[in-house]
Structure 1
Amino acid sequence: MAARIRVLLVEDDPTLQRFVAMALEDDEVRLQACISVDEALLALATQSFDLVISDLMLPGRHGIDLLQTLQQRPALRGNARLAVFSAGLNPAVRAQLESLGVTRFLSKPCSLADLQACLDGLRDAPPSAAVPSIHQAAVEQYFGGNAALYQAFLARCRVQFPLDIAAGRLACEQGDHVKIRHLAHSLKSVLLTLGHPEAAAVAKQLELDAQQAGDGREDASAAIRAAWPRLEDALAQLL
């Protein structure tokens, strides 16, 4: 029988991962563990969960980054209940977490009863809805109608986009038209595949400007400086 309760555990301590797995071991519970915010966002982009349990101190990005992202992008969270591992939270931090949707606070070490209490009410709840696709036309055209594959690709792009933004800024500052051209060419295809033709058109124009700058067109550098912020804004809106 398929598991009804889907739990995502975001925790980099393997010992605690094993304890949670044993505590929640049940034919009706399916636990998926990951060790970072980026891994958690990828998991949430490809499937729905009923409960997310996250540590705050994680490698790379902080657990609060995960909670803030879920608040900003509610489709990723879906109907998932949020719980965090906490140790001696002060009132201000606890209030911040509550404002981000956290309803369960688990101490370290955590008791078996507290972990199992996170499941209270979930066994009788209806299954969470699948993460909806915002750009169905792109899903059909480029992903064969597979919305989960689209969401997985989008999640990976959201990890890459900040790196692209940083690289583009540096290339503009250095006047590296070759770098800008290659970056714009890549982003043009990515944005079109994600279903953002207007942003892809900006990248295409930037690619053309960079090519013309390399050919010596006098006003091309100014065009690049004007076009890059527009492309950067388009990428930032997808994060």
Structure 2
Amino acid sequence: MSRPRVLLVDDDPSIRRFVALALEDLDIELVEAGSVAQARERLADGESFALIVTDLMMPGETGLDLLQHLADHPAQRAGARLAVFSAGLNAAMQARLAGFDVWRQLSKPISVLELEDCVREAVGAGGAAAAAAPAQPGPLGAGQEAAIARHFAGDRGLFLAYRASCVAQFPADVSAGDDALARDDAPALRRLAHSLKSVLATLGDADAGALARTLEDAAARGDLAGGAPLWQSLRDHLSSQR
């Protein structure tokens, strides 16, 4: 018997890695798409899913575009439950999501338990055989320990694996931020800051997460002059992570 399939649509590789790690013990097949275009290709090819989870804020086509596509092509949705990632929604956006029959709204940063509960309820997936726990290092910082409890259900190994994937992604994030400023591309800088805000909060790095939030607000206003020193501080922090 085939396992239930879950489609994850998010342009941020760090978020996709977090979801993959969080769900690896569930008896499901996770399919990742880095853009709405990739998701539409999978759906158009006749692939079916029990649950589709999409981020709302993505470059180019957004999660709302995917929801509209599914509304226009109900045969491609094929009864899948719909869930969205968000970092805060106003009443107007919540009403739009309700119109698209969105089943669950998942706030960023999301905890492992909330994510697992969503998937279990959507597809009825049980747990797979647990692997042996890897050796774990000594004490971490207070913020990291709090993040492990809040977002990773106390699983330090899962936290460390996710953190390693984020650190590996940070050089690409630094390049993307430098490029956005060089091109005076405020929307691109806003998207990057929005992503980093959630990633850093999930890692328990409250100060850097707050810096990313302030940068996101500056970029949303188109204030690149004010955003440049904020980016430099955030860039220095990302570059220092090992």
Please report the TM-score for the alignment, with normalisation by the length of structure 1. 0.49
Please report the TM-score for the alignment, with normalisation by the length of structure 2. 0.49
Larger radius of gyration between Structure 1 and Structure 2 = 1
Query: Relative contact order (alpha carbons < 8 A, sep ≥ 6): 1 or 2 greater?
Result: 2
